[in-house]
Amino acid sequence: MTDRKARLTVDGLDAPIDLPVYPSTAGPDVIDVSGLTKKGFFTYDPGFMSTAPCESKITFIDGAKGVLLHRGYPIDQLAEHSDYLETCYLLLNGELPSKEQKATFADEVKKHSKVDDSVAQIIKGFSRNAHPMAIMGSAVNALAAVYHEETDITSEESRRVTAYRLIGQMPTLAAMAHKHRQGEEFIAPDADLAYAENYLNMTFGTAGQSPKVNQVLAKAMDRIFLLHADHEQNASTSTVRLSGSSGTNPFAAIAAGIATLWGPAHGGANEAVLNMLEEIGSVDNIDTYVAKAKDKNDPFRLMGFGHRVYKNFDPRAKVMKQAADEVLSELGLENDPLLAIAKRLEKIALEDEYFIQKKLYPNVDFYSGIIMKAIGIPTEAFTVIFATGRAVGWYAHWQEMVSAPYKIGRPRQLYTGYNKRDYPA
């Protein structure tokens, strides 16, 4: 509770309206406007840019300062000292695990990484050219059918096992979607491989052959998963919360998040980066396209530069840039035509006064797109990797919501249509 109040004066009301003000640990304090409905008012906030629909202890972002914290830990420190599964544990449980807790968590994730045959058959039923995000959304939704009888959202133990299943099977499903599109045989998860190693082996390995996973690439993939693990109340996370607020199966809520992430304004941004590089076509054309990007009347936009949230350097981009440099060096791809365009654009963005003044720094999508292109992941599958890493963040927010009293979401509207009118005789 709070004794602090915000006083709202409205023309036509005899007295002002007092609204509670709740303090935040970090970031802006929040005015509770829920009582306005009793006074006959809703708030109007397109895009929910000024609305906090929930209280959360998971992730904090300060876009102006370029800060991203998971349970209080800066993202760059996690990327340097932690790994994806340890970060998953942190997001779900609030604290870093002990060595024993981390080992147990990793073992449980591996134990639940095999996909039910019924889901495999669903994936095989898609055409070879089906978009991998359509396959992923359908496959995750199918998990709701597989585990329907075993899922009890009111049970802490059931929620824990569901987390293992989701985290364990997302890379398996992602790899199966890739293999199906390539017309190749599925590869089962290998208990001897680490998380990112398993994904790379299931995606690029050959059935019946011993795994051969490049450790530089595995480290880069783990960082991609980690750096996408959560990003506070974005469109897909809010979708998962809103869907989950009805009490639906958590896999169904996650599938709704996947559908939202698919959009080019959200998870499709790193795919848009590669499409942009292909449009530019050659290093010789860069100056022309940079000029187009600076022209406000030209529809062309440089993708992967700047960020809706970060008005400073994206803190994830610094780590991803290092991973990109390591991968390109390991694979000897510094002179790949598209990657050469990307490196030249990066240099311009970091040195050109226009980009510096507008703070159009390369963001995480720019570098992750370069890495995935180099590794050999098809452009249309980039968002699948995003979803694989983000699944734990979605689930952590869903779990936080259902672990406490909550209400079904019911947004309001500013209605500007017809008033009541009679049907013509």
Active site residues: 266, 307, 365
Residue 256's alpha-carbon distances to 31, 138, 341, 398, 409, in angstroms, are 29, 10, 35, 12, 15
Report the alpha-carbon distance of residue 255 to residue 386 in Å, rounded. Answer: 13
The two structure tokens encoding residue 19: 């609204």
Say if residues 218 and 197 touch (Cβ distance below 8 Å).
Answer: yes
Burial code of 175-189, b = ≥16 C-beta within 10 A, e = fewer?
bbbbbbbeeeebbeb
Beta-strand pair 30-31/17-22: antiparallel
> What residue type is assigned to position 319 of the chain?
V
Burial class (CB in 10 A: 0-12, 13-18, 19+), 374: buried
Report the alpha-carbon distance of residue 142 to residue 147 in Å, rounded. Answer: 9
> What residue type is assigned to position 83 of the chain?
D
Name the DSSP class of 36. Answer: G
